[in-house]
Structure 1
Amino acid sequence: MGQFARQSLYSAASGLATVFASFTSGVIIANLLGVHGAGMVAFAVWIAAMLAPIIDGGTALSVGRFPAELRGQDNNAAAHALPAVLARRLLLYHLFGVTALAAFCSIGTDVTLVSEAVSGDDIGSRIPLTVVLVVAALTSLQSFALFGTSHLRSAQSFRTLATLACVSMFLQIGAVYIGAHFNGVVGALAGYAVGQVCFAAAALSLIFRSGKVSPALTSEVWRYGRFSWAANVCNTFVWSRIEILFLQVFWSYREVGWFSVALALSGLASQGPLLLTGAFLPMLARKHGQDDKAGLQSAFTKGTRLLATIALPTCLGMAAVVPGLVTLLYGPEFEPAVPAAMIIVTAAAFTITTVIGSHLVNALGRSDFIFFSSLSGALLSTIFGFLLIPDFGLVGAAISRAIVQLAMVAIGLWFITAQLGFSFPFGAFLRILLASLAAAGAAFVTIGAIGHPAGLFAAIAVAAFTYVLCLRLFGATNADDIALVRRLSAPLPQPFARMVGIILSFIHPGSLSPTIITTTR
């Protein structure tokens, strides 16, 4: 458990760096380029996010799962060789992509993407070739970076992962600021591309690694990769901001800019709890390789409860303070984003808690279910996009996103419980939800009574106190959860670890003290 705790904290550090880089870059762009410029950048970044899974070919998910499973089977030679085979396959896919881009660019120097149908604003309907080339570079680097990240997690090189993430954070923030300041939208996009270079280099370094993989394993990997690739392509419609396309087609870059702010705030709230989950997929894959069904159930239950304990209050609390946060960070020009942000963040409170379940399905190799469920989600996203966004704009996009993602959560829970036979901790989840709602209500009342911006900090403090108190009153935790959090917090600096221990002792007085755990470990 000590090793898992260190890996989780390194994974958290890398995730925190990534989230901070993305969020800070968005704030910089919004303040330097305004709503319209922020919308153009968000739309271009969305295009890169859509294209990256197509080029990926399922290699990132494959390298994230199979090497860890092979190590669980003590097949270290194959675990060492497989990432190189997948990296060379990814490079081949990129060569096909470059050929397609060359053919595309030969059509003309300007590309018409969409029109500003509702607002009547024609600015930006023609996209210069320079933007196309920068987006292509961003797409390629992002694809390699995702592969590099998955490889480092599978290899459990979390310290390297955290180091590269921190370097990438500084590179991206600095490059985005300089690029946006001197070259507007193109410069900002180039800054995002710079932020992917470190992880892309980690992926490219695998190409020259030697080693052979058996034909049977190769066949299994390609089958999994095909389903994973198809699922990733479909997932772009569900999780990768497909609403941006509908907003751009039926409305304008202005609505895209507001929606990007709503998504950024949702990401700030939801990505924080996810920082501790990066080590779960390789750990679950290893347990699957060892055929440890009881271990899989235990990890799934504890991980889900832990994630819910962090995600529910964070997301619901963010929804309560969004009005003040938007004005403070982005200015009055972005106030129309508030209703959409509140809807999206509230939905994220529930979707984030199922991430451990997603890791479980991936670890078991059920890419077939991932594909079919993703295809269903893509169809729902398209249907609700056409039904809600043309008439209701920004709020319609937020509602569409919330409905589709909650539907996907329901499908996933049904599959995990009814088909795979794992139990979900519904009772603990409900008690944590009640405590989180109480904390969010306290934050909403506080910020309404005091006002902005001073009320924002007071609301956070009141919400934290209310949540901790309600966790104890509702009996929302158990001794196993408390022991897990103590172990996860043990590598922290001593003052922080001691503070966490005091809070945990208040939440669950019957749990072991830090001293007892230290002596029994």
Structure 2
Amino acid sequence: MAALRSMALVSVSTYVEYALGLFISVWIARALGPADFGRYAFTVWLCGWLMVCSNHALTTSSTKFIAEAYGADQPEVASHISQRLMRIQLWSCAVVIALFFAGVAIVQPQEWAGFIVPISVLVAIGVVAKANYSLLVAISKGQERFEPVSIATVISGVIMLALVGLATWFRGGLLTFVGIFAISCLTLNLINRLAYRHYCLPFEVGAVPAEMSMRMTRHLRLTAVLVLLIALKTNTIEVFLLNTYANSTAVGFFAIAGTLTRGAVELFSVGLTTTLLPYMARAFGQRGHSQATRVLSEATRFYWATGLMIAGLGFVTTPGLVTLMYGNKYVDAIPAIEVTLVLAGLLLITNSIAAFQVVTDRQGDRLRISAAALIINVVLGFSLIPHFGLLGAVLCYAGTRLAELAICTFYIRRVASAGLPVGMMMRLLVVGLVATGAGWLVAEVTPGHFAFITGAVAFVAVFLPASFLVRYWSEEDFRLMGMITDKLGPVGRVAKRVLAVLQGPVARAP
């Protein structure tokens, strides 16, 4: 229940953040048009890549080792780890920003023609502020305190929405919206710092036990390489090649696909994703490998169900939803969005595999997986994108992610085969395919601009009851659902009666 409380706290704030972020993205896209929105999307993508380089392994390592220290009942060690990693990040940001300014001076990006100096300064401000924010969030997650990130994301989202509204009213251009992005990063950092001081333990200079220090140093080195590999294979090749061989409009379409996909994934799974690593690390610190494997199995089951819902609902609702939100100018982005949503859903289980590998110090496996996926990504990217543009980028993304899923599954079955309930997952996959077909059919025969809503309702009406009938949920899941419904008042009582009806056939099944 403590884990559920944390998941609920993070989920609610993320739902608000996603709703605001999606609204802001649509607003900016309509205000700038496809070409300038592509340049804005390229700028935001570059900021994200620089943030990853600034933090490299620091966010993952801080959450893992701080949570592990708390699991071993050593809060003072956790505080010393926080101080050490914050000091490392200061130097890391300085090096990354210096290299960025040198690169801009040499390359002179055409996307920023006429605004190279001011946009470069704004990018640097946004990167440093957001990178520092991300590390503080990781440290607070290690302490299992999720209030700071929840407060910061909601308040800063509201502020950014107001600024975007003003910029649109005064017909602001690319430079204006990049400035708003930098301001939102600063606001996010400031609010999170204030909340951190209220909810979390302060940093302290001190020694870290020699054994943990050695493990942490090795983890930092391996994870730094790993994170940079992941950053390179996470749409980096696609965006770079689209920007080089296609045009800014194609970059904008691919960015919309990425925005909607990330939003859908966070909407359905952010609570579990945010809390999984610290809870698994604590379980490992308390009881070792076997307990971490049990958490892996449970997380994989929930991720698979969530991923199938993302894939099915994404396929059913994307055409109507994109046309309604972005307008007919962005219709060509629909196939890219459908493909990325479906693949993001199917690949969601890799989050639980990655968390297990981090917690059990199997970073070498993650490094080999990411290196193989990057090689595949580069080969497919240079083979497809120069010739097929946006379609090539979509095919490159699909081939890379499917290969990554296969490689991840191979590695995890070698060390924790009990963590993947394959039989149950295949049963639910059949349910997902049937529900997707039903939702698509209903959406096709329903007239009007909101047909995607009836399609989504049809999908859920088939998927949820059928998931119980194929015995995907365990007795422990039913008890947990019962505990949740007990706290929901009259709505919970109705839900509990529905659960009782669904549990009947499951209990009687052989």
**Structures share fold, TM-score greater than 0.5:** yes
Look up the match of 1:244.
Answer: 239
The verdict on how the C-alpha distance between 1:471 and 1:386 changes in structure 2, with shifts beyond 3 A counting, is same
> Structure 2 matches for 1:76-475, cutoff 5 A?
76-101=75-100, 103-104=102-103, 107=105, 112-113=108-109, 128-179=116-167, 182=170, 183-197=172-186, 199-201=188-190, 202=192, 209-214=203-208, 216=210, 217-277=212-272, 278-475=274-471
The verdict on how the C-alpha distance between 1:260 and 1:438 changes in structure 2, with shifts beyond 3 A counting, is same
Cα distance between partner residues in 2 of 1:359 and 1:393 = 34
Question: Aligned-pair distance for 1:500?
Answer: 4.4
Instruction: Please give the per-residue CA displacement for 1:215-273, whole angstroms capped at 9, x wherever unaligned.
Output: 62333222211211111111012224531111111100010111112222222322222
Cα distance between partner residues in 2 of 1:360 and 1:499 = 37
Q: Matched residue of 2:225: which SS?
A: helix
8 Å contact kept, 1:266–1:341: yes
Taking only aligned residues, the RMSD between alpha carbons, in angstroms, comes to 2.6
Look up the match of 2:42.
Answer: 43
Q: Which runs of 5+ in 1 are unaligned?
A: 115-122, 513-521
8 Å contact kept, 1:144–1:199: no
Deviates more, 1:357-366 or 1:8-17: 8-17
TM-score by length of 2: 0.90
Q: Matched residue of 1:156: which SS?
A: coil
Cα distance between partner residues in 2 of 1:378 and 1:240 = 11
> Aligned AA for 2:119?
V
The verdict on how the C-alpha distance between 1:500 and 1:65 changes in structure 2, with shifts beyond 3 A counting, is farther
> Aligned AA for 1:28?
W
Q: Which runs of 5+ in 2 are unaligned?
A: none
Instruction: Please give the per-residue CA displacement for 1:156-180, whole angstroms capped at 9, x wherever unaligned.
Output: 1123332222112212323344345
> Aligned AA for 2:225?
A
> Structure 2 matches for 1:486-497, cutoff 5 A?
486-487=482-483, 493-497=488-492
> Aligned AA for 2:33?
G
Q: Matched residue of 1:235: which SS?
A: helix
Cα distance between partner residues in 2 of 1:227 and 1:213 = 22
8 Å contact kept, 2:71–2:282: yes
> Aligned AA for 1:296?
A
Question: Aligned-pair distance for 1:300?
Answer: 1.5
Number of aligned positions between the proteins: 499
Cα distance between partner residues in 1 of 2:44 and 2:506 = 47
> Aligned AA for 2:96?
G
Cα distance between partner residues in 2 of 1:212 and 1:240 = 40
The verdict on how the C-alpha distance between 1:362 and 1:24 changes in structure 2, with shifts beyond 3 A counting, is farther
Deviates more, 1:25-34 or 1:165-174: 165-174
> Aligned AA for 1:220?
R
Question: Aligned-pair distance for 1:391?
Answer: 1.5
Cα distance between partner residues in 1 of 2:269 and 2:486 = 19
Instruction: Please give the per-residue CA displacement for 1:330-366, whole angstroms capped at 9, x wherever unaligned.
Output: 0000000111111111111211133122211111122
Cα distance between partner residues in 1 of 2:387 and 2:494 = 50
> Aligned AA for 1:408?
E
Cα distance between partner residues in 2 of 1:490 and 1:96 = 53
The verdict on how the C-alpha distance between 1:451 and 1:142 changes in structure 2, with shifts beyond 3 A counting, is farther
> Aligned AA for 2:142?
S
Look up the match of 1:118.
Answer: none
8 Å contact kept, 2:442–2:455: yes
8 Å contact kept, 1:144–1:203: no
Question: Aligned-pair distance for 1:294?
Answer: 3.3
The verdict on how the C-alpha distance between 1:172 and 1:148 changes in structure 2, with shifts beyond 3 A counting, is farther
Look up the match of 1:519.
Answer: none
The verdict on how the C-alpha distance between 1:153 and 1:374 changes in structure 2, with shifts beyond 3 A counting, is same
Question: Aligned-pair distance for 1:400?
Answer: 1.0
Structure showing the higher helix proportion among its residues: 2
Deviates more, 1:92-101 or 1:459-468: 92-101
Question: Aligned-pair distance for 1:506?
Answer: 4.2
> Aligned AA for 2:475?
A
Q: Matched residue of 2:287: which SS?
A: coil
Cα distance between partner residues in 2 of 1:80 and 1:343 = 43
Question: How much identity, in percent, do the aligned residues show?
Answer: 20
The verdict on how the C-alpha distance between 1:272 and 1:486 changes in structure 2, with shifts beyond 3 A counting, is farther
Deviates more, 1:481-490 or 1:12-21: 481-490
Look up the match of 1:19.
Answer: 18
8 Å contact kept, 1:113–1:126: no
8 Å contact kept, 1:247–1:397: yes
8 Å contact kept, 1:263–1:344: yes
Cα distance between partner residues in 1 of 2:369 and 2:413 = 15
> Aligned AA for 1:128?
I
8 Å contact kept, 2:310–2:341: no
1:31 aligns with 2:30: yes
Question: Aligned-pair distance for 1:112?
Answer: 2.9
Cα distance between partner residues in 2 of 1:46 and 1:500 = 42
Question: Aligned-pair distance for 1:155?
Answer: 0.9
